[in-house]
Amino acid sequence: MLQKPLSLLQSRVPKPSVYQAVHMRRLITVNDRMQRDYRYELVAPVGRNFDLEFKPDLTPAEMLCLGVFGGKYMTDCGDEFPASWFKHARLASGSRDNSLNYFGVEASQPLSEWRRKGWIDVRQVKRWKAIRRHVRQLQLACEPGDLSCRRRQRQALLHWAYDSRKL
């Protein structure tokens, strides 16, 4: 159950040429569950120019392929992101389905809780760094390679792009 084909996870976004970077600018309008009529201009290449401290283990495509957020991650905003991210995604056709999560367990809070706590903003990189403490907890509590140990904690790390399969 916990083994996924690694060949699907090996691809990385290539660095675009200067020509591609200049010509990829486009206006994006977002209408999803988090925001309505929000507009921004896409000016950076996909997967580049993040906060210097943000160094995730997994790309969005890898996370979607493994299974995160009960198959509901990014299902209402697919037009905003590269289609390649969704090619092998484990997505729910209806409501959340935690069996689609890599570790098969519930490990997240609903969007309403994120909104209530004000978590959808620039503090996300700080929160991403803070969840790293769970990596150490797994290392102390679990035998290396034992993916059945603390599955909920492992799934939560996966939601934050930390790859606990390597621990």
What does the DSSP 8-state code read for residue 82?
-
How many domains in the chain?
Answer: 2
For residue 8, is it within any domain? no
Residues 81 and 91 in one domain: yes
Residues 40 and 58 in one domain: no
Domain extent for 23: 14-49
pTM (2 d.p.): 0.69
Report pLDDT for 48. Answer: 75
Q: Which residues of the chain have pLDDT under 50?
A: 1-22
Residues 43 and 54 in one domain: no
Residues 109 and 40 in one domain: no
Q: How far apart are the first and last CA of the chain?
A: 18
- Residue 115 C-beta-side C-alpha neighbours within 13 Å: 6
pLDDT per residue over 57-67, tens digit each?
A: 999 999 999 99
Count H helices and E strands in the chain, helices first.
6, 2
Residues 56 and 138 in one domain: yes
pLDDT per residue over 66-101, tens digit each?
A: 999 898 877 877 777 888 999 999 999 888 899 999
